[in-house]
Structures are given as C-alpha cells and as structure tokens.
Structure 1
Amino acid sequence: MKTPLMILILLLATSTKAQVLIQAPSASPAEFKKFLQENPTTRSYGDVQIEKLQQAPEQEQQMFSLADLSPTEIPQGLETLSRLNQQSALSALSLQFLRDLTLKWQSGKTSPQIESYVKTLHCKFSLLQDESSPAACRVESVSLENLKKLNPWMKALAVESQIIPLEENRHLRLVPEAAYHFTLISDSHTAVSFYGTFAQLLQQANHAQALVEGGCGGFQSQIDDISLSLQARVFFTPSCVQATNQADEETEKSWVQRNKKWLIPTAAILVGGGIYALKDKKIIIDKPSFK
C-alpha cells in the first residue's frame, strides 16, 4: 500500500499533465484518430514517443565536445559518434551540428578509409535535413511498403529524430551504406529501435510488445514508466476509455475521500514552502508499507 506522502506527491505531479491515450490492439484506428481530434488536450502514445526523440540534451553536449578534437583525434571521435548513435537516435540539433562537423573533418589530413567514412556520414546528415545532398553522395530511394507489411502495427518511422509518416507509396532517400538509428513507433505497441542500414532493418524480425492485453471488461497494461502510467488511458471504443492504473486509481480516490479534511491543507503547505521544513530531516520509508 502506498504511503500518504507518496500518493500526495504522485497526485500533485500528474495533476497538470495532459492525458496520454493508448490504442487497444482491438480498437478501430479511425475511431481512435477521431477521438483524439475531439479531445485536443489528449496526446497519443505514439506522439509522446516522438517527442522523446526530439529531446537529447546530454547527447548534444557530448556531440559538441567533438568540435575540440584535433585532426589526429578524428578516428577516436568517429568511434564516440558511432557509440552514441547506437545508444539513441540523433536529435535535430545533433544532426545540424554533425553535418557541419563532418564537413570540417573532410579538410583534415586523414587516411583514405577515414576520409571515405567521413564523407558517407556527411551525406547521411545532410540528406536527413533537406532534399538536397552533396554531389559526391550515393543516394538510394527506398519504398516503405515492405517495412509496413512486416510491421502492420506501426504508426510512423523515425530515422534518427526525423519522423516519416507511413503514407501510401512513400519513398525514403537514404545513403545505402550508412547506418541509421531507426525507431518504429506505434500507438498500441512499445517502440522498436534498430541501428544499421535500411536493408538490415528489413531483415529483422521485430517483435513489438502490445501495451495492453485484454478487452474493455478486463485488461493488463505493460507500461514500465510510472509517470506515464498515471496519465495514460486506454481506448477500446468511444464509449470505453479506461485508465491503465484503474485499480490503483480507485484505491487512491477512496483514500483521498477518507482523508480530504487534511489532504488539501497539507498540499497547500507543501506547495507554499512547507517542504523547506524538511530540509535537514531524514525521511525513512519502510519497504513493507508499499506492499
């Protein structure tokens, strides 16, 4: 059982956040889209995943440090860049910076192998940000149809942090030999990430996990993010939209009703500065109290 302090913190932390809507696997995509349009303060789960790709301040800071490398340190810089790119998709700001950095690195005295690799990266970063590309770039136009057939649960494809809607006959222009961080995004399944070429991506058997199992009468959610779980609702039909943490939520509502006489004054004290009184105090939470 949650302690009063924990429940109060969770209620205060989530009260101002917009709700996140998950599409049940059995739900109609058209009805789900219409419901979102009719509820503009509600965001889809897929849109939340897209937003996360756009925010990478720690990654950007590490990328910026590569600008200080000398020409002899470029190989080490390329290793760092590859490692960071494998870990996560490159943000828009990282892409802009790396496009300029790889152009600068091409003027440095390096081996033919390093020079060729740097040119490939420069083509990759340039092509992701606009339709034009340097004349020396080898560019391939690939269809997304096969990827859609292999992953019918997809809503969109992210190439690094660039979002590609899955429209009919949509083609994607890529550097065929370059490795990209691909993210397959959905409103009903967990996102799937892959680092490699597009050809390698098509060879993968991507096993996405459904975020919800069951139906309107009873279901289980598979969300590890506690903050997201507290905001999330599951869309089955327009008349059946349920909280992912419904059981916990009912318990918390009951607890709030029983303790509302002191809950509101306590919340006001905490928000108004009462937390300062805890500045030099130790708070010990006994683990069994969370059972």
Structure 2
Amino acid sequence: MKQLVLILMNTLCALSAAQASIIIQSPGSDRNAFETFLKENPSAISYSQYLRQHSESNPSQEESLYALAEKLDSPSNEIVLRLMNIPDRLSSTSINYIYDLTNKLLERKDLSKNQDLIRLNCKVRGLLSVPFDNCGTTSLDFTAMKKQWPFAQGLLLESVAYSFTTSALVQISKDAVYSFTLYSDSHKAIEFKGTYSQFMQQHFVGEPLVDGSCSGFSSNIDDFTVQSSGAIFFKRDCIKAFQDAGKSRSLAEWAQDNKAWLIPVGILLVGGAAYGLKDKKIVIDKP
C-alpha cells in the first residue's frame, strides 16, 4: 500500500508540472529525454521555441512602419531618418515591410544612391533569402558558432531562427548591423548588436537559467510569463514548476495545489484498502 501511495504521488506531481506551457531544460539533464517529453506533451513548448515565437511579432514596430508607408512623399532626409530610427530586432512582418519600403524609396531619384537605404535593403535581403544586388555578403558559420558557444543551440538573427545543426548555406550582408541572439533551452539568451564580423569576435559566457537539482533549485529568469506558467525538466519523473523554486512546501500546501487529483485518488486508495481487507476477519480486543 505504501508503495502504491508513493507511485500515485509521483505521478500527480509529474502531471501537475506537465500542464505548464514553457519547459526549461536543466543543465546536465538528458537532451533526448527532454525532447521525448515535449513530443509526448504537445501543449508544452521548449524555452527556445517560446523565445522564437516571442520575436516573431512586434506590434509597435510594425505600426511605425505602416505609418511611414503613408508618407513616402516626405522630404528625403526626414523619411530616411525615421526609417533608420525603427527599433532593433525586426519582426518577420517588419522585415518584409522594410524590404518593400526600401525598394520603393530607392526608385526615387533623390534617394537612389542613399547609402543608408542601400545598406538597409541589403540587410533584409539576407533575412529573406532574396538575391543580393550590389551588396557585400558573408556566410554564417554555424559550426564555428557551436564550437565557440557550446551552451547555445541556435541563433536568432533579428527574428529569423537558425539551428546550429542546419546544413543550409545562409548569406547575409557583410556590412549591415544586425541584432544577434544566441538561444538555448537551458541558458539565458545572449543578445548582441553589430556586424557579423564583430559578433564572431565576442567571448560570451553561458549563464544557466536554473541552478540546483530536483530536490531544490533556484531560477535565474525575470520573465513573468515563464515564471507564472513555466516548469523545469530535471528528468522524466521530476518536472518542477517555477513556483517551487527556493521554497519547501508542506504536505498541506501540496494537497491544496493538487486537490483536484487527490479526491479521486483518495477514493481509489480507500477502495484499494477495502479490497485488500476483503475476506479478512477483523478482531477488536477490549482494553
């Protein structure tokens, strides 16, 4: 009976944590087991997938570009300045919009040789895999990145994601300034703004998102969404919610959080106990 209770309690803990939508891999945990867990729980996403999805849209940035498109006849200095001041980390929508905008602006006689526009047009061509037109280019070396930053799994170039395992040849503008983000399921994302050459000269140090083990841990993340709905994968039978970080929970607290499961399990246990006593004679001696 004691063994049955322990099995059921472990199952309940795992099921409760698995309901979290964003799963972080603890450093040192088995990568294959982590990926298997995600496949078996389609409602959950990895931390790196959350970062990639989060970067895909930027409403305020896109709104600024929409407003700019309505003023394409503005004086050249004004419109170029406004375009250059668009915030970094371009969303996928912004990348497409900037490509269209710069092509239209470069058709204007007073802007056809504007170097800022040409550089920006070359920048987004690489992100869209569009053939380059009079742009200096360079190829992304994912093998070198993985060797230089082994804690990372891939790169976000603006909002375009590349896994370090990709074998595709990716070319970008050699002179353009990009927003680079190294992402991982187990370490904090590292951001850098500069040219590709400058990026490859950096010596970043990975900072784990979680420190500790299944028996006790602390988290190193300040994202409210992750803190409120995230969980940490230590191993298949140990997945901890972020709310459990740095605190010891009493049995009463655990029972309160899992009462939806405890009631039917309690019935199951009582039924099991009753079945175990079936056909047994119970004798109560008087004191």
Is the CA contact 1:144–1:170 (under 8 Å) kept in the aligned structure 2?
no
Percent of aligned positions with the same letter in both sequences?
Answer: 30
1:155-180 per-position Cα deviation (integer Å, ceiling 9, x unaligned): 22111111111116554211101111
**Change in 2 beyond 3 A, CA 1:152/1:83:** farther
In the alignment, which residue of structure 1 is the partner of 2:202? 204
> 1:104-253 counterparts in 2 under 5 A?
104-110=104-110, 115-130=114-129, 132-167=130-165, 169-246=167-244, 250=249
1:128-149 per-position Cα deviation (integer Å, ceiling 9, x unaligned): 113x314323322231222212
In the alignment, which residue of structure 1 is the partner of 2:30? 28
Is the CA contact 2:25–2:234 (under 8 Å) kept in the aligned structure 1?
yes
Question: Paired residues, what number?
Answer: 240
d(CA) in 2 for partners of 1:127 and 1:168?
A: 16
Is the CA contact 1:144–1:171 (under 8 Å) kept in the aligned structure 2?
no
d(CA) in 2 for partners of 1:84 and 1:255?
A: 48
d(CA) in 1 for partners of 2:213 and 2:203?
A: 27
> 1:7-46 counterparts in 2 under 5 A?
18-46=20-48
Give the AA of the match of 1:246: D
Moved more, 65-74 or 221-230: 65-74
SS at match of 1:245: helix
- Cα distance, 1:152 vs structure 2: 1.1
Query: Is 1:100 aligned with 2:100?
Result: yes
Moved more, 64-73 or 28-37: 64-73
d(CA) in 2 for partners of 1:231 and 1:47?
A: 15
d(CA) in 1 for partners of 2:166 and 2:52?
A: 21
Give the AA of the match of 1:221: S
The TM-score, its normalising length taken from structure 1, stands at: 0.73
d(CA) in 2 for partners of 1:92 and 1:249?
A: 43
Is the CA contact 2:211–2:217 (under 8 Å) kept in the aligned structure 1?
yes
**Change in 2 beyond 3 A, CA 1:125/1:249:** farther
1:39-63 per-position Cα deviation (integer Å, ceiling 9, x unaligned): 2111111111111101211110012
Q: CA RMSD in A?
A: 2.9
d(CA) in 2 for partners of 1:127 and 1:253?
A: 57
d(CA) in 2 for partners of 1:252 and 1:135?
A: 66
Q: Which runs of 5+ in 1 are unaligned?
A: 1-16, 261-291
**Change in 2 beyond 3 A, CA 1:108/1:175:** same
- Cα distance, 1:227 vs structure 2: 3.2
d(CA) in 1 for partners of 2:51 and 2:183?
A: 7
Q: Which has the larger radius of gyration?
A: 2
